[in-house]
Chains A and B, each alone.
Chain A
Amino acid sequence: MLEINKLNAQVEDSHILHDLSLSIKAGEVHAIMGPNGSGKSTLGNVLTGRDGYEVLSGDITFNGKNLQDMGIEERAREGMFLAFQYPVEIPGVSNMEFLKAAVDARRKHQGLEELSSFDFMKLARDTSKKVSLDPSFLKRGVNEGFSGGEKKRNEIMQMMLLEPSLCILDETDSGLDIDALQVVASGVNAMRSSERSFIVVTHYQRLLDFIVPDYVHVLAGGKIVKSGDKELAKELEAKGYGWLEGEVA
């Protein structure tokens, strides 16, 4: 699904990721944990191709294709999805219009017909209920005036509608109370399948009680310093990141 090989990347002349390698197969859930400033969010932005995030060396292949040859929107159409840590508010653009444009673009890329407005609205309403978001949110501006939890649920709704093959959750748990966390987690769990992979970026072990990962990686200083199974997350929770400092150097 995704192969990252010796990736070096910089943001505004600052070298953040160092020789990072990661291999994710279809159906796997990988958690990436690490202290603030370790490069967790940078990884997500490099994968989606955000402007200003520059790959210095290394390769990334996604579904067998060289990711760096693809624009931001092409990666999305190909099945990559980033759930933002801070979803963007866009007043004046209705959530429904936005979602339809996104789903249309993805379907077109897959060689499928666009859904009619009627069918799409029905689908969007049904999906919004699955993440406990009132359908009235579809009429509002994208994320406009949404609470932190509503924004995150809107991200998961987008993920459900787009049916991506690789989902990257960037600190989706930040700022969520336990109820919202459960809604988000059950949305993610409902989407787990042998065809779909997840990268769950988080600071805290708590989320991983709900979304149980196959692998846990610790990112520090822009490289993966330790990998293990879900038990590693619990160890981190108990010991903090300090005991790994030695391995960074």
Chain B
Amino acid sequence: MSVPTAVSNARSASAVANVGAAEFQQHALALADAQQSPAWLAALREQGSTDFARTAWPGRKTEQWKYTTLQSFQDFTAADWGAGRVAGDRARDAVHAASVVSSQLLTLDATTLVFVDGVFDAEVSDALPAGMTLFSNADAAAQKLIKDYLGRIAGSVDTARRNLFAMLNNAWASEGLLLHVPRQTTLNKPVYIAHVSSLSTSREPTVSNQRVLVVVEEGARAEIVEHYVSQSAEQQAFVNAMTEIHLGNNAQLHHTRLNLEPESVSHIGGVYLNLQRDSRFNGFTIAEGSRLKRIDYQMNHCGPGAELNLDGVYLARNKQLVDYHTTIEHRVPNGTSKEVFRGIIGDRAKAVFNGRIHIHKDAQKTLAELNNRNLLTSSNAEIDTKPELEIYADDVRCAHGATISQLDETALYYLQSRGISPAQARVMLSFGFINELLQGLPHEEIKTALGTHLTALFAADRALVSDVGAVETGITDAASERS
């Protein structure tokens, strides 16, 4: 198998002492204080700071962070924090010429909205259509909507499970996007939101906070694509990105979240979703690993009869880490949830998948399915997968499962018997393992763009291509890992 290469980290070899958790908190709070933001957001931000300050730093005993250490954060030195800016100051040294940013974007027939380090970039964006408002420009009506909805879902999570970085996102929230789709309306185009981490000329790390609030009212429909990307694979960055989605009765949303930032970007993100009666959510997410990539999906059935589908893909190689934590709360009857995640992990990389489904006692007639499959392509790769099903209702149909697979030898033989080389056959089958999920994407353009990107990735780096022999060792490792 391929030889693991070192994570590109210009500073890891430097002699500067790491800051610890206490320093992280201190710097993070100082950064929150330094933000300029609309006065009407002050209460939320203060609450965020207070909550964040009160919360203990996650350690190995913290269930939510059991398999993912935040060690790599502590590589951010005090000097880095001094240079870091939340929702960056556009006058600083960042190099984000419009043309450079544009080259990072997908070409979609959509309303394109670009944020660079959390700040809206009007130069490369389309004009904001009706219903879409920057927090910094919100009129009284928009302010009211934002105050009504912002932070509400994340804040309703059990205290024990509340995410530290959601609190931090509140504390840092100086800018954001409100996407409001009024009753019984349908957005005529998808909304494509690109979050770009910029390249700073000084090469100092950047810190950015990104916030999207989606309110789809009763009977309304929309489609959103969120794309996280970095201008340079050399640029160190920490991105804290949070999307909250409120679906009203009978509302429908297609939501795609593409986390394609390179290894140098640490990303902690969350998608928080409330589903009211008969609403429908179709989600797709993909993440390439990096030095730290952690994405939480918190999804709540609040009204009966809602339907939720979430497909996810993760790919990790080198010494990357990727961690998905998903939680679905069924509080009401007749809800449907279907979640399918697949991952390929190679080299010395590590992936974590934790999928929790919680069916409360009143949630009768719930249908819930969760499936997670993993392909390990090296005996040094690690997957920690944990489907969790908690059921307190007696009339429900649930299925959950997690497997660590290997390539199907019969399929390999079939391809070879048609003249295809074993090496090419393995690429086709490994890519096919995740391609099944890509095929469910609603847009040919995204399918094609992602397909092209990933095909190149698979062709360039054998780390994601399964070698049948090597995988068997991987299974043993992973099994003991989970016992």
Chain A residues in the interface with B (C-beta under 8 A): 48, 50-51, 71-73, 76-77, 81-82, 84, 87-88, 90-93, 97-98, 101-102, 105-106, 109, 141-142, 158, 162
Is the beta-carbon distance between A76 and B432 smaller than 8 angstroms?
Answer: no
Minimal Cβ-Cβ distance residue in B for A77:
B419
Q: Does B78 contact A (CB under 8 A)?
A: no
Is the beta-carbon distance between A91 and B418 smaller than 8 angstroms?
Answer: no
A51 to B431 Cα, complex, angstroms: 23
Is the beta-carbon distance between A50 and B413 smaller than 8 angstroms?
Answer: yes
Q: Does B187 contact A (CB under 8 A)?
A: no
Instruction: Pull 29 A–B residue pairs with CB atoms less than 8 Å apart, ordered by A.
Output: A50-B413, A50-B417, A72-B413, A72-B416, A72-B417, A73-B417, A73-B419, A73-B421, A76-B418, A77-B419, A82-B417, A90-B415, A90-B429, A92-B429, A92-B433, A92-B434, A92-B436, A92-B439, A98-B415, A98-B418, A101-B418, A101-B428, A105-B419, A105-B420, A105-B421, A106-B419, A109-B419, A141-B436, A142-B414
Q: Which of B416, B422, B424, B436 contacts A76 (CB 8 A)?
A: B416
A212 to B422 Cα, complex, angstroms: 36
Q: Which 6 A-B pairs have the closest CB atoms?
A: A92-B432, A76-B419, A102-B418, A105-B419, A92-B436, A93-B432
Q: Which of B416, B431, B432 contacts A73 (CB 8 A)?
A: B416
Q: Inside 8 A of B452's CB, which chain A residues have their CB? A: none
Chain B residues in the interface with A (C-beta under 8 A): 408-411, 413-422, 424, 428-429, 431-436, 439
Counted as pairs of residues, one from A and one from B, with CB atoms less than 8 Å apart, the total is 80
A76 to B419 Cα, complex, angstroms: 5
Q: Inside 8 A of B416's CB, which chain A residues have their CB? A: 71-73, 76
With A98-B420, A101-B418, A158-B418 given, can you name 17 additional A-B contacts, CB distance below 8 Å? Answer: A71-B416, A73-B417, A73-B420, A76-B416, A81-B418, A82-B417, A92-B434, A101-B415, A101-B428, A102-B418, A105-B418, A105-B419, A105-B421, A105-B424, A106-B419, A109-B419, A141-B432
Q: Inside 8 A of A105's CB, which chain B residues have their CB? A: 418-421, 424
Q: How far is the CB of B229 from chain A (nearest CB, A)?
A: 25
**Max count, chain B CB within 10 A of own CB: residue among A48, A93, A158:** A93
Q: Which of B408, B428, B436 contacts A97 (CB 8 A)?
A: B428
Is the beta-carbon distance between B411 and A101 smaller than 8 angstroms?
Answer: no
Q: Inside 8 A of A81's CB, which chain B residues have their CB? A: 418
Q: How far is the CB of B412 from chain A (nearest CB, A)?
A: 9
Q: Which of A51, A101, A142, A158 contacts B409 (CB 8 A)?
A: A51
A73 to B436 Cα, complex, angstroms: 25
Is the beta-carbon distance between B414 and A84 smaller than 8 angstroms?
Answer: yes
Q: How far is the CB of B240 from chain A (nearest CB, A)?
A: 33
Is the beta-carbon distance between A93 and B419 smaller than 8 angstroms?
Answer: no
A82 to B409 Cα, complex, angstroms: 17
A62 to B408 Cα, complex, angstroms: 29
Q: Inside 8 A of B411's CB, which chain A residues have their CB? A: 88, 90
Is the beta-carbon distance between A88 and B410 smaller than 8 angstroms?
Answer: yes
**Max count, chain B CB within 10 A of own CB: residue among A50, A72, A81, A105:** A72
Q: Inside 8 A of A162's CB, which chain B residues have their CB? A: 418-419
A84 to B417 Cα, complex, angstroms: 10
Is the beta-carbon distance between A101 and B424 smaller than 8 angstroms?
Answer: yes
Is the beta-carbon distance between A101 and B432 smaller than 8 angstroms?
Answer: no
Q: How far is the CB of A110 from chain B (nearest CB, A)?
A: 11
Q: Inside 8 A of A72's CB, which chain B residues have their CB? A: 413, 416-417
